[in-house]
Structure 1
Amino acid sequence: MNLLFYLSFIMIIIANIFMILSFILSKKSFLDREKCTPFECGFDPLSLARIPFSLHFFLITMIFLIFDVEIALIFPMIPTFTLVNFLIWFKISFFFIIMLLVGLYHEWNQSMLNWTN
């Protein structure tokens, strides 16, 4: 038990020595303005923070994301075709496809699919 305690104590001492050495020997400049500024997704942080972006482009992105997830949910239907009862599989697949089409019709009705407004 004492050996385990001594080994743990020695490892903690060695780790602290390395942390202190790295802090002393590091070449960090606190006066470098570029390193102190935030970098967000390629935008220049020295310019205006409120850069206008297209809300329509954001909506198209959200629609793509939703349909991408729906495609990921459709893929497992193909291998399960031979593993389950055909009638149950058909009802679930039909319901899922109808829900997708209702969502697509709603987006079309709201004219969210028109790029030029």
Structure 2
Amino acid sequence: MFVLNTFDIGECLSFLCFISVSLIFCFFMLFASSVLGGKSLSRYKHTPFESGIDPVGDTSLHFSIKFYLVAMFFVIFDVESLYLYVWSVSIIETAWKGFIEAFIFILFLLLSLFYLIRIKALNWVHK
């Protein structure tokens, strides 16, 4: 059983040491690459390289807002599957209380999906 009252200073120091060594290593790699890396100044330095073919046309593409909405809805409804996975793994420890909480969570998700359908946020074409 996990006890909240125990506090091990050795674990905190080892975690702090790990974080500091990681940050020092990152800064060292950035510094070493800036010092040791080659530098060239030419007129082709900042042009995009596409398999040796000269770029043609404008690079900014305009997408419909529907692609953004579908992506956001996917992220929202996909993240909830992570919560349900954790709940399903710990079903024995949570018992009925966890079942009721998961049921309420799924109910809120279904209500939000019905709301999105009601306001026609998932329709691609407007009449």
State the TM-score bracket (shorter-chain normalisation): 0.5 to 0.7
2:87 maps to 1:74: no
2:102 maps to 1:93: yes
Partner of 1:51 in structure 2?
A: 61
> Structure 2 CA distance, aligned partners of 1:76 and 1:69?
11
Q: TM-score, normalised by structure 2?
A: 0.57
> Structure 1 CA distance, aligned partners of 2:55 and 2:102?
48
User: Structure 1: where are the runs of 5+ without partners?
Assistant: 1-18
Structure 1 residue 113: Cα displacement = 1.8
User: Structure 2: where are the runs of 5+ without partners?
Assistant: 1-34
The structure number with the bigger radius of gyration is 1
Counterparts of 1:1-117 in structure 2, within 5 Å, are: 19=35, 22=36, 26=38, 28-33=39-44, 35-37=45-47, 47-48=57-58, 50-86=60-96, 88-117=97-126
> Structure 2 CA distance, aligned partners of 1:64 and 1:75?
17
* Sequence identity (%): 33
Q: TM-score, normalised by structure 1?
A: 0.61
> Structure 2 CA distance, aligned partners of 1:103 and 1:116?
21
- 2:104 is paired with a residue whose SS is helix
Distance 1:109 1:30, change over 3 A: same
